[in-house]
Structure 1
Amino acid sequence: MSQPTVAFDPAPTEAAEPVVVRLRRHGRVLFMPTMALIGIATAWGYFSMGFPEFWMTLTFWLLSALLLIVLWVFPLVTWLGNRVIITTRRVIIYRGIFTRTRQEVLFGRIHDVTVRQNAVQAVFGAGDLLLNTGAEKPIRLYDLPKANLVLSALTELVDKQSPLSAQLRRDDQRFTQDY
């Protein structure tokens, strides 16, 4: 039996938006939760059967499990739940674990991109990116790895989307070089 032919050609759709980079907070934010995991595992190994009464052992196991959830599982899931995706047209920010928030910023709305680094972030090459969209408060992307590289990539992408802002930025650079 032959297959029927379909005389319907779907309309050409817009090409998929290429993803430039996917980012999470710098991995060093998981250092202290990992130290807590090691401490809890050490306590489990040392105290696991060392209590004379059953209720003491049960209390120890329940308290350890609670500490494990609060000090290691919750920070890990929080770290995994927050991410930033930069495409060729926009920045997409996902936040939250149980209540997801998705925020999109088109490059045409971004006026300025700034990097802020504290001393610890500077050692690891991380930093906070501030996206100024003209609103009261800029959008802050917390503790991104290789912040200066992300800044230069974002600036280049924003300049491609908004030729006027690129021209103003070039004029600004020429003005500061003259004086």
Structure 2
Amino acid sequence: MGFAEKYLSDDEQVIYHLRTHAKALILPVVVLLLLAAGIGFGLGALPDDETIGTVGRWAILVVGVVVLIGWVVWPFLAWLTTTYTVTSERLLTRRGILTRTGRDIPLRVINDVAHERNLNDRILRCGTLVVSAASEQGQVRLRDVPRVYEVKLRLSELVREAHDEDERQ
């Protein structure tokens, strides 16, 4: 899914349009596999007795659906709806399933761009991008940014260009 061009101003170009790293989906995939195995075993292990078997099957299915929604579908939708977009003029963040929240930070008000990476992040080539802006919120932490170092370098270049352009005016 690309970034909608209708949200861009004239001459504004999308540099990066990213989702959070797919590592957020590791636990939901493991839960899905264990859930499928557990439901299959549970349904197969129930006796053929009409009362116990029917109630047991429904109980297993209801619990399975609740776990599926809470531990698989919801995290997947959260991953799917969280995006970070760097344009030639702004940094845009969007997140939320039912309630969407977003933040647009003009590049000219960004003071500093840093990144943080723990061992797992270094192995998976992602990390946290820390953007300091001259605003009330101060720092914005973008978690699990893929190729965080590459994004940080390019964002720093764009910020420097935006500051240079402001000084020329």
* Alpha-carbon contact 2:15-2:86 (below 8 Å) kept: yes
* Alpha-carbon contact 1:126-1:143 (below 8 Å) kept: yes
SS in 1 for 2:65: helix
State how 1:78-89 maps to structure 2 within 5 Å.
78-89=78-89
| 1:109-136 Cα deviation digits (max 9, x unpaired) | 0010000111211111111011111346
State how 1:125-144 maps to structure 2 within 5 Å.
125-135=125-135, 137-144=138-145
State how 1:106-145 maps to structure 2 within 5 Å.
106-135=106-135, 137-145=138-146
Q: Which residue of 1 aligns with 2:94?
A: 94
State how 1:26-65 maps to structure 2 within 5 Å.
26-52=21-47, 53=52, 54-65=54-65
User: For residues 151 and 67 of structure 1, what CA distance do their matches in structure 2 show?
Assistant: 37
Q: Report percent identity of matched pairs.
A: 26
TM-fit CA distance, 1:165? 9.2
* Alpha-carbon contact 2:129-2:145 (below 8 Å) kept: yes
Q: Say which is worse superposed, 109-118 or 48-57, in terms of deviation.
A: 48-57
Query: More relative contact order in 1 or in 2 (CA 8 Å, sep 6+)?
Result: 2
TM-score of the two chains, using structure 1 as the length reference: 0.80
Residue 105 of structure 2 aligns with an amino acid whose one-letter code is V
* Alpha-carbon contact 2:108-2:166 (below 8 Å) kept: no
TM-score of the two chains, using structure 2 as the length reference: 0.84
Residue 119 of structure 1 aligns with an amino acid whose one-letter code is L
Q: Which residue of 1 aligns with 2:10?
A: 15
Residue 79 of structure 1 aligns with an amino acid whose one-letter code is W
SS in 2 for 1:86: strand
Q: Say which is worse superposed, 131-140 or 141-150, in terms of deviation.
A: 131-140
TM-fit CA distance, 1:47? 2.1
User: For residues 103 and 132 of structure 2, what CA distance do their matches in structure 1 show?
Assistant: 14
More strand by share: 2
Residue 45 of structure 1 aligns with an amino acid whose one-letter code is G
Q: Which has the larger radius of gyration?
A: 1
TM-fit CA distance, 1:93? 0.5
TM-fit CA distance, 1:37? 0.2
Q: Once superposed, what is the RMSD of the aligned Cα atoms?
A: 1.8
- Structure 1: 5+ residue stretches without partners: 1-13, 167-179
